[in-house]
């Protein structure tokens, strides 16, 4: 029998499993071998982390780390395709591990059911070859970025909102690429940041960007192609427009990767409390005496004058009967304050209590502040206007579970 030779360590089973990758001329057996000896860490097992984990699990890497501290909820399933109805209530990392292990039983999977902090992130990040930021939290982005720079790890980062997404690779040393802080030195105020929990996202947008994150991770691990460093991909799913923009170079003055960094041994502590990657941040802009709980509002039998500041498309989901609709955008950005004042004044003056409601009790606080400015000449206006703490979510949880939760 004629002998044959092979210049690689792949088994026959691995050759058969990954054959469609092996026959790509730019990839081949040696790229597959690099995958076989590599590891990746996915932070966030949600809309982005789901497709990224699925494709990395099936690609042939040897080790995959999964980080999340949330549980699977029914509202996740339209976009977080790694989870199932049967895993609702389970931790996301356990749910994701189950699916990934069913795809590739030889894959070593580490799960971290915990909130990343500046105290624990370094010990996790340093174990892996490439890091994927699949979170929906701007403060966590700084935390992950700092850890990756300090541990000298490339960071594949994506974000999605509504129909749009962004993708880039931070801290790619081979290209002297910038880190996240090079472009955004300081975290913005929490009330200025929108997430998919606030304004929504279409599932396939997550699938597209998460899949591209997996692709960039594979390119980094196998050393093929042109890694998306020093550039950012912008995706508009509504117009199906994909374009790439150039990013500025690594900044010498950067606090973490510059020539005289102030962040040296561990990531900087967050400037304010972190929120769950997939759960909304509760803003606290008002004093407690400017707010009313759902239970206290229920005792009033909805006899107060209620102003709903949600956008119209959310109003169509459900609303309080006889509430007055004043969209937040109109309240903040209208061109005729006097007309709005006159429109509201008669309602305000003839009611003892004015309750402002929104989805989660965040926008309503901003609305209370704006209305007090707009109607400052009305007697006792500060005592009259309150926001519903926790919004319609609190009403659903504490008073009436038949009100739809979204």
Q: Active-site positions?
A: 196, 358
257 assigned to a ligand binding site: yes
The SS3 of residue 109 is: strand
182 assigned to a ligand binding site: yes
76 assigned to a ligand binding site: yes
Rounded distance, CA 103 to CA 98, Å?
9
- Residue in the structure block whose two tokens are 């990392």: 93
φ/ψ of residue 400, rounded to 5: -140, 100
The b-or-e profile of 92-126 (16+ CB within 10 A means b, else e) is: bbbbbbbbbeeebeebebbbbeebbebeebbebbe
92 assigned to a ligand binding site: yes
281 assigned to a ligand binding site: no
137 assigned to a ligand binding site: yes
**Other CB atoms within 10 Å distance of the CB of residue 318:** 13
329 assigned to a ligand binding site: no
79 assigned to a ligand binding site: yes
382 assigned to a ligand binding site: no
**Local structure of residue 201 (DSSP, 8 states):** B
φ/ψ of residue 202, rounded to 5: -85, 135
**Other CB atoms within 10 Å distance of the CB of residue 255:** 20
68 assigned to a ligand binding site: yes
For residue 167, the cross-strand partners are 158, 233
The SS3 of residue 172 is: coil
254 assigned to a ligand binding site: yes
Is the alpha carbon torsion for 337, 340, 341, 342 positive or negative? Answer: positive
Rounded distance, CA 165 to CA 137, Å?
14
Binding-site annotation: residue ranges for Zn(2+): 179, 182, 254, 257
Binding-site residue numbers are 47, 68, 75-79, 92, 136-137, 179, 182, 254, 257
């Amino acid at each position: 029998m004629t002998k044959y030779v092979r210049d690689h360590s792949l088994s026959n089973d691995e050759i058969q499993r990954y054959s469609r990758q092996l026959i790509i001329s730019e990839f081949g057996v040696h790229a597959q071998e690099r995958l076989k000896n590599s590891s990746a860490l996915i932070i966030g097992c949600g809309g982005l982390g789901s497709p990224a984990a699925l494709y990395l699990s099936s690609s042939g890497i040897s080790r995959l780390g999964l980080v999340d501290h949330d549980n699977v909820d029914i509202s996740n399933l339209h976009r977080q395709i790694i989870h199932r109805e049967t895993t609702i209530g389970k931790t996301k990392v356990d749910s994701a591990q189950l699916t990934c292990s069913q795809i590739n039983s030889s894959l070593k999977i580490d799960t971290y059911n915990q909130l990343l902090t500046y105290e624990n992130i370094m010990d996790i990040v340093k174990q892996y070859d490439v890091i994927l930021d699949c979170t929906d939290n701007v403060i966590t982005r700084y935390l992950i970025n700092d850890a990756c720079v300090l541990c000298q790890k490339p960071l594949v980062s994506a974000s999605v909102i509504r129909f749009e997404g962004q993708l880039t690779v931070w801290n790619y040393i081979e290209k002297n690429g910038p880190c996240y802080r090079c472009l955004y030195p300081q975290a913005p105020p929490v009330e200025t940041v929108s997430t998919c929990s606030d304004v929504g996202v279409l599932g396939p947008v997550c699938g597209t960007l998460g899949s591209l994150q997996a692709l960039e991770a594979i390119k980094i691990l196998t050393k093929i192609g042109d890694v998306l460093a020093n550039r950012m991909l912008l995706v508009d799913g509504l117009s199906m427009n994909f374009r790439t923009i150039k990013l500025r170079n690594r900044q010498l003055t950067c606090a973490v990767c510059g020539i005289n960094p102030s962040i040296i041994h561990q990531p900087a502590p967050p400037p304010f409390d972190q929120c769950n990657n997939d759960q909304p941040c509760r803003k606290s802009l008002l004093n407690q005496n400017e707010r009313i709980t759902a239970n206290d509002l229920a005792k009033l039998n909805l006899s107060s004058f209620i102003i709903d500041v949600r956008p119209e498309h959310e109003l169509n989901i459900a609303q309080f009967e006889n509430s007055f609709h004043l969209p937040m955008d109109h309240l903040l950005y209208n061109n005729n304050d006097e007309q709005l004042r006159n429109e509201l004044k008669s309602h305000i003056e003839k009611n003892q209590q004015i309750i402002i409601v929104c989805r989660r009790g965040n926008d309503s606080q901003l609305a209370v502040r704006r209305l007090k400015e707009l109607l400052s000449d009305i007697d006792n206006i500060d005592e009259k206007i309150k926001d519903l703490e926790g919004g319609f979510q609190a009403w659903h949880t504490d008073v009436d579970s038949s009100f739809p939760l979204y």
